[in-house]
Amino acid sequence: SGMGYERDDDGRLIKFPQTGIVVIEDDVDIAAHATVQRAAIGATVLRRGAKIGPHANVGHNVDIGEDVLLAGHAQIGGGARIGAGAVIWQSAVVANGVNVGAGAVVGMSAALRHDVGPGEVWAGNPARKLR
């Protein structure tokens, strides 16, 4: 699971070892109180020029593309992929494993559960394609 726990045969939560790494490339900014979670296996990656806003959360095994803007309080679920130049506005939530295409925009407070194509604009809860 995304929090690093699995259930045993009795239904109890047990810790799943997080053995991966975090890769932070050049010119990345991570604001105060933002969280970048270590990969379960493999790498969580923040590519060149990415900007992570205050109180944002980047889940395990996420790949944040070059020059992505992740605004304050945005939440990126484990295994998501955010394409180069995309913008994820304040308090938006991108679900585990969702792909956001290059140059796409996810609006403020959106709850995104589906992949977004390059250059698309999505907003709302649940998020819907606007253009």
pLDDT band at 3 (very low <50, low <70, confident <90, very high): low
Q: Please pick, among 33, 55, 60, 73, the residue that the annotation labels catalytic.
A: 60
Residue 60 appears among annotated catalytic residues: yes
Express each pLDDT in 63-113 by its tens digit: 999 999 999 999 999 999 999 999 999 999 999 999 999 999 999 999 999
Residue 99: which CATH number?
Answer: 2.160.10.10
**Mean pLDDT (the chain, rounded):** 96
Q: Is the pLDDT of residue 2 over 70?
A: no
- Asked if the structure places residue 3 within a domain, the reply is no
Number of domains in the chain: 1
- Asked if the structure places residue 7 within a domain, the reply is no
- Asked if the structure places residue 117 within a domain, the reply is yes
pLDDT band at 1 (very low <50, low <70, confident <90, very high): very low
Sign of CA dihedral 97, 101, 106, 110: negative
pTM of the model as a whole? 0.92
